[in-house]
Structure 1
Amino acid sequence: MTRIAIKMTGAAALVAGLLGSVSAFAQSGATVAFLMPDQASTRYEEHDAPGFIAEMKKLCADCKVVYQNADADASRQQQQFNSVVSQGAKVIVLDPVDSTAAASLVKQAQAQGIKVIAYDRPIPDAKADFYVSFNNEGIGKAIADSLVEHLKAKGVAAADGGVLQINGSPTDAAAGLIKKGIHAGLDNSGYEILAEYDTPEWAPPKAQQWTSGQVTRFGKKIVGIVAANDGTGGGAIAALKAAGVDPVPPVTGNDATIAALQLIISGDQYNTISKPSEIVAAAAANAAVKLLAGETPKADVTLYDTPSQLFIPAVVTAENLKAEIIDKNIMKAEQLCVDRYAEGCKKLGIGG
């Protein structure tokens, strides 16, 4: 379990943020909780939490931010939720381990006048005060469309085989949206879905184990794999390599982790999604401060009866990795172009 409590001191200094100017009447010294779901996805520790804390420091210098990570344990997240309620949190930003179970947490908080922002993963069975995320259904469709276009461009005929579909956790409503988007991209593509798997807890080893079984089952009939995130995609690639599959068929991903970007550089992974988590983290901080001030954050759409702001991410392949990742300063060449990846970087015009 990760738990960080940060007291931000200094005069209140609220500035214009991602959602526009923020009221100067946010509750001084208020406690805001940021509760994330797991550590299997490195983004929460490396990007989401630091991004949220940094933006809160800009917008409400004397607010207290409490960050906790449930490490994929719904019971632990409930305990953490109860803890921040007892600490007097006025706003709770919640990325649920279990989207269904989280509904009771939302209702519990709202009954006590506490605002809840659903973050990254929606909470379908309860109306949160706001929802901030990337467009998850759009992500699923984008990675599937990208793979289908690639297969067709390479002249891979539908009769040559089909694809595997690796979804995220069955308890994650965002995974369900990604899954829906993947089907939107695959179902009418002409390529058969050979088999499909919902990955418990998004765990890469479980995705790897399942893929190993499918390689034994289908062999060369597997012409591509649509994986819902970089962890499950990496697990699939590990299974293919362990089975001696060469060349590895194109595999998708999502999150633009360092490991996935390096796999793209080496030619082992076909695509990922660049969605700098700091963007949604900053948006959540802006929404939190507005709610503290008694204001209503601006919504783009309504999802699950909840006012929402959804950001559109970019698909990254070897062709545009330099433009989307390096040139936009999301990561530096020296982070990616190390050891065996140096040669691949040179081929893509990255680094010296």
Structure 2
Amino acid sequence: MNTHMRRAALVVAAVSMAAGLAACGSAKESGSNTGNGSGDKKDQALTIGLLLPENQTARYEKFDRPLIEKKIKSLCPDCKVLYANAKQDASAQQQQVDTMITKKVNALILDSVDFKSIASSVKKADAAGIPVIAYDRLAQGPIKGYTSFDNEQVGKVQGKALLEALGANASKGQIVMVNGDKGDPNAAFFKRGAHSELDGKVKIGKEYDTVGWAPDEANKNAKGAISSLGKNNIVGFYSANDGMAGGIITALKAAGYSKLPPVTGQDAELAGVQRIVTGEQYMSIYKPYQPEADAAAEMAVAAARGQKLDTVAKDTVDSDTTKGIPAVVIAPIALTQKNIKDTVVKDGLYTIDEICTAKYKSACDKIGLK
């Protein structure tokens, strides 16, 4: 766990503790957490801004946005949600914050493209009386609340899974690490967690940091590593997410591997789950989006109504600029062939029919996914 964050216990239960919020205004108000002006807003219709960082990763448009919007509507039927996606452009996201300020939103949920450069925009929103809830990535600036997963633990789970997949092969070759975007603060935690498991147990032949989590860049990095190290000397790939894992696996296939080395991932994207079914990808990280989205919506509505966040957020985190930020931190889950049915299917992320299309039917049958 990073030194700025108190380790959270399992908090999936915690994010469901906002029954008081569902009553739209049952918590006591706090003058320090007012949104866009002061006073009692429990009977007012609110406008909540939602800014997501990119659309290359499938999760944001397919899961995060609809789940957040649905939860806000359940908490406050008359609330309006203003949405924008920055498409991995930090400058565009700064302009989107300015637009939200101009439109006088009552609270803003922000998943930052660049957690450092967005700080000035967060300050502008705060000065305008708009509380900002950091979603998935801890942005700098006067953030009022934060929800994400235990990101260093994500890397540890990935690293441990890769070692388990390698077994005795861990000492027979080298691995390649393809890390996430340097502008994403979570990427540093994933990387740190993975290194804590991998260092000293396997040789890391090449390591790359990507820009924008781009699968094409991961593909290029994988090709470069194969050319430099030799395909017979590479026993595994650490990939920080599923999109990049897809790019890596395309490179491995092009290199003519008779058996693909294990590749990690994250986000439980449908394509990633299907690659796990076929054995092309060893694992992914399943992060149940529902509790994360619910927590963001609950904190945003509470902050917009001038209520304290401690009914939702039982933990705190520190950023480089702000201390004691109320936080909901959720535990990640390793997703392999063994638990697809008990995780993403059971939770309704995908149906078996969605996973086991005609192309994957025989592979699904082989692992008992029916």
Correspondence 1:32-51 to 2 at 5 A: 32-51=48-67
Question: Alignment partner for residue 348 of structure 2, among 326, 329, 332?
Answer: 329
1:241 to 241, 249, 253: 253
Q: Name 2:82's counterpart in structure 1.
A: 66
Of 66, 69, 80, the residue aligned with 1:53 is 69
1:149 aligns with 2:164: yes
- Identify which of 191, 202, 214 aligns with 1:203: 214
- Residue 141 of structure 2: which of 126, 137, 141 is its match? 126
Q: Deviations over 1:28-66 (max 9, x none)?
A: 211110100000011110000000000001001111101
User: Of 91, 97, 102, which aligns to 1:86?
Assistant: 102
CA distance in 2, matches of 1:17, 1:150: 33
Match of 2:224 in 1: 213
Aligned counterpart for 1:256 among listed residues 268, 274, 284: 268
Q: Taking structure 1 as reference, are residues 64 and 157 closer, same or farther at Cα in structure 2, changes over 3 Å only?
A: closer
Q: Tell me the SS of whatever aligns to 2:337.
A: coil
Moved segments of 4+, more than 4 Å: none
Q: CA deviation at 1:296?
A: 2.0
Q: Which residue of 2 aligns with 1:174?
A: 186
Change (3 A) 1:350 1:179: same
* Cα-Cα RMSD: 1.5
User: Within 5 Å, which residues of 2 pair with 1:308-347?
Assistant: 308-347=327-366
Q: Distance in 2 between matches of 1:205 and 1:293?
A: 44
- Structure 1, unaligned stretches of length 5 or more? 1-15
Candidates 296, 303, 306, aligned match of 1:284: 296
Give the corresponding residue for 2:125.
109
Q: Percent identity?
A: 38
Distance 1:274 1:17, change over 3 A: closer
- The one-letter code matched in structure 2 to 1:168 is G
SS in structure 1 at match of 2:120? helix
Number of residue-to-residue matches in the alignment: 331
1:302 equivalent to 2:300? Answer no
**The one of 243, 251, 272 aligned to 2:284:** 272
Deviation at 1:27, TM superposition (A): 5.7
Residue 287 to residue 27, structure 1, CA distance change in 2 (3 Å):
farther
Change in 2 beyond 3 A, CA 1:348/1:231: same
User: Aligned equivalents of 2:290 and 2:56: distance in 1?
Assistant: 18
Letter in 2 for 1:216: S
Separation in 1, partners of 2:235, 2:68: 40
- Partner residue, 1:7: none
Describe the shift of the 1:40–1:157 C-alpha distance in structure 2 as closer, same or farther (beyond 3 A): closer
Contact 1:228–1:252 at 8 Å: present in 2 too? yes
2-structure distance, mates of 1:329, 1:49: 16
Q: Which letter does structure 2 place at the counterpart of 1:246? A: S
Distance in 2 between residues matched to 1:27 and 1:280, nearest whole Å: 26
1:228 aligns with 2:234: no
CA distance in 2, matches of 1:292, 1:157: 51
SS of the residue 1:114 aligns to: coil
- Quick one: structure 1 residues 301 and 245, their matched pair in 2 at CA, closer, same or farther if it must change by over 3 Å? same
Higher relative contact order (CA 8 A, sep 6+): 2
* Paired residue secondary structure (2:285): strand
CA distance in 1, matches of 2:314, 2:247: 36
Q: Deviations over 1:182-220 (max 9, x none)?
A: 1112113x2011111111010000100111111111121
8 A Cα contact 2:274 2:355, kept in partner: yes
* SS of residue in 2 equivalent to 1:193: strand
Quote the Cα distance in structure 2 between the aligned partners of 1:217 and 1:186.
21
Q: Secondary structure at the match of 1:253?
A: coil
**What is the CA-CA distance between 1:107 and the residue it aligns to?**
1.0
Corresponding residue SS for 2:307: coil
Structure 2 residue identity aligned to 1:138? Q
Structure 2: segments with no counterpart, 5+ residues: 1-13, 26-41
TM-score (norm 1): 0.91
Verify the 8 A CA contact 1:300 1:308 in the aligned structure 2: yes
Query: Match for residue 24 of structure 2?
Result: 24
